Structure 1
Amino acid sequence: MNRQRNVNHQADAQHFPARNAFADEAGFRAIIENSSDIIARFDLQLRCLYINRSIMRYHRVQRNRLLGKTPEDGGLPPPLALPLQQAMEKVRTLQCEQQVELTLQLNGQRYVFETRLFPERDNARQFGSILCIAREMTEASLARRLLTEENAVLEMIADSRPVNQILHSICQMIESQLPNCMSAIMTLDRSGQTLSLAAGPSLPVSYAEQLAQLPIGPEVAACGTAAFWKRSIIVNDLTQSALWDSLGQHAADAGLRACWSTPIFTSDHQLLGTLAIYYDMPRSPSPSELRLVYRCSHIAAITLQRNLHESQLYQLATQDGLTHLFNRRHFIESAERHLNQARRYQRPSAVMMMDLDHFKAINDRYGHAVGDRVLTLFSHLCRHCLRGSDVVGRLGGEEFAALLPDTELEEARQVAERLRQQVAQAELTHEGHTIRFQVSIGVAIMQSNESLDVMLGHADRLLYQAKSQGRNRVCAPEFDDKPVHQGELPLGLA
């Protein structure tokens, strides 16, 4: 029986070190002094009885200055001391294990500790001290947070949130992983020649203004250069880099000293933009930081590529593929919305029906490719003559329509006449031939509560009248257009 009791005692000592093996202070120190975890013991007044040397890796203070003092009185940084004392007070009150996550910011580096606190009892089962074991879990904690934030961003993408809102969240995700950094996402403009700032929540405003339109080139800051060469560009110190000749002073005034930029690509390696990390001190990225940047650039690519696809689908659904004006269906939907608003506020509206004269003759003589060029030129003239608030669409073939909100009849007639004149003066060349074309226009004004169909019907009859009177003219209610001037080409050919 005595032998069995000794065996059980040894097992208890192995599995319950706080109660047995650590009861002897010399044995306690010998085992834990070189542990990578921070291990400390506190009395019930929360005063430190012992702390191992691992604290020296994170807090430059002599250990003996912590002895006999609470964490707060001993000079531990407040982000560690305050939550640690609160957790120990719970252990003292509840006499049960507590767990708390502590975060320390030191020299630009963040450390996360998973801290467990145990009530210690002596052989008489009397609660007499608190054992603290703090294990650094920075990488694991950041990985968990990154996964949570990534999932939140992916949910935003799935919910079709506004693209700038998603990009803003990606920047915040990066900045939560890399303390003291400032992130920015630039997107490729439609021209393919410049980048513009889409998200940069922490960038100084004065510097962000300089990124409204950044040229792409072999030596244009980090982002313009990364987009040009289609590879990551790391600038450890902006003051020592020739890439910053154009933006160097703006960067210096904003307190920026380092920038890492990586391009953002579609799945088939088409450029979408760039992702940049800025610091206010010279700095090189670590391998783990670069992995984070590449990982976040992939999420940004998903966001931008989805937005690109949605934009393309919207264009296919709403725009004419050749002229890029509204297609028939979207023109009618948009025009009806404007008319409903005009009726509500009792504002005037006008419509124009337009048809290119003798367009079939152009197709027959020069081919449909030239005909497409004529249609494209006409759509350009429409956008040039009409206001941004006007709704213009291609109804089919060479037939077009426009709705002019807040426009009286005479003003609409003048707009139509100006467009007719510009069309008559326009020309394009093909294989040495000069090609001119003309347009006939019918103009109608909204009367009382007329529907869009009724208005378009009025304008269409006036367009037919313009055609029957010789073409290349504007017809409006109670308006007799002048005859076509001599010398104008009735077939639109030269």
Structure 2
Amino acid sequence: MPDPDRIRDALLLHSASCIGKKYLQQLVSQLACLTGAERVLLSQRSGGPHRQLQVLFANDAAGGAPRQLPCNCLFDTRQPLLLGRGLRQCLPDASQQAWQSCLVWPLLDGDAHCLGHLALLDARPDFFAPELPALLQPFIERAGAELEQLQQREKQARRQHWQLLHSDILRQNAQGTPLDALLRTVVQQIELALPEWRCSILRLDSRGRLQPVAGPSLPSAYQQRLVGLAPGPMVGSCGAAVWHAKRVVAENLQLHPNWAPYRELAARFELGSCWSEPLIDSKGTVHGTFAVYHRTPSAPTPQAITILEDTARLLALLLENQTIHRQLDSRSQWYRAILQNAADGLSIIDMNGRFLEASDSLCQMLGYSLDELLHMHLWQVVPGSTPQSIRQRLAATGEDGETFESVNRTKDGALLEVEVSARRLMLDGQPVIWGSARDISQRKALQRILEQQATIDALTGLFNRPTLLTRLETQLQLAQVQHAPLSVLMLDLDHFKQINDRYGHHAGDLVLAALGDALEEVLRESDVAGRIGGEEFCLLLPGLGLHEALDLAERIIDDISELRIQSGHHILAITSSIGVACLQADDDSRTLLARADSALYAAKAAGRHRAVALSADPP
């Protein structure tokens, strides 16, 4: 093997300018070339339930699937391992018994947790020099930092993927897309991102029995066996999840007691595990279950549990919204029957807008007595109208009629949203307008809630990522047309992961909610604030130049540092880092955000709890 000092110098020469994935690839390639080792590989922990490693980069054509590797034994150590002989004792795979020498480093994150390993393997005994681990340690430390950044970016990308999916589903729901189509879309998108998952949605019918509504990857014959299934404490995973109103995880269907009556069925359809999450709405009502099957016995990882919970909340919201819609439609049908049989909500108005007749229900709706209404004109109950505009509208009403939404003002001054149907009739030889009014306040309130859910981050009350990016495009175009300044702040909470790890995710949620409130208090009415993922926020400041934006950023940092959030018996204090960027002549939204993001990283690198401004692209 070449001299270790020469290996170190050559690595410095070839890898100094590389970052991220390119650095890791270059490190593996150069170590193989410089040391002459037969195999060099860089691995990370598998996302599965078992303690396996997944090969990310290697100098040969070995696959990246989880497998047993000699460095599996290093999960709980932070020291490199150098073996010159006897490696076969660590390698149950007979095809790899030719290896004799092994040099393995654990790759650690900032908290000294093992993320993966870098391993050098060779068939020659005592091949690696004893001083090599110490000489290469700086490269290994950097590899750990690069791997941590790579995993964080992948985690953020996955989180943004699910956030975008949920926002898109809620938007489609608000626009009236049929529920069955939305449920199928949710399942299809999850299975597209996680091909090993076989998803199913079961819904409770009016008799309290489970009915399959989505499950494209499950055999139709198996789904038929689920039709009409009665929930019970020991009825598989889904029946028990509905019965207990909590998650039921059967890691091995051939061993779990709930599946004793169904083991033959599971074996026939190649089902190894089933994780079932109940769909519970905001009122505590259970609507059904979201279940995930695997072909082999499997246990859910923490990431899988998060996806189960988030998907169940989304599905429960969709089902709850449909229930509310059905109740409203049923109520509307009932009102129509009353109108047809008892003239409920009816009025007759002359062409000058004066009430000639009114039903009891209309009087109750508006809060007036019949005598009071018969002495009034229509413009007195339609806010924003004038005698002239009302008369013009009445004159334009034809015999075929029309239906439109309007607002009425009640006697006590409240505004009532109504759906109005109007038609011109002849009464005693004179044209009049027959009209009926239906209270649609609940429906409109629900529609506004759905629209808000599709644009607002529920935890902080700020805009979600898609909405903020849309607002950025609008503000950028406006600033360029008006030649006005526009600044962007990228804000990140310092050491937020430590709060989640030490006090739990509920404490983290309280911190994020408090931050959202604090930002709304300090920003102007024209400013736009949004949560773009995790603990990262973006603020749009139209009309502010770089120095003004930096002053505001420093004030925000001071305000955040003064926050005290109570979580149980703990009082939490937080700090933040902010990157500031101002719109330049040739900027688009991507370059402006990238510069603000670079400034944020500069603030973190400078020690956090500060604001850093970049006026132009970094070199």
TM-score range, shorter chain: 0.3 to 0.5
Superposition TM-score, scaled by structure 1 size:
0.42
Higher relative contact order (CA 8 A, sep 6+): 1
Task: Find the structure with the greater CA-based Rg.
Answer: 1
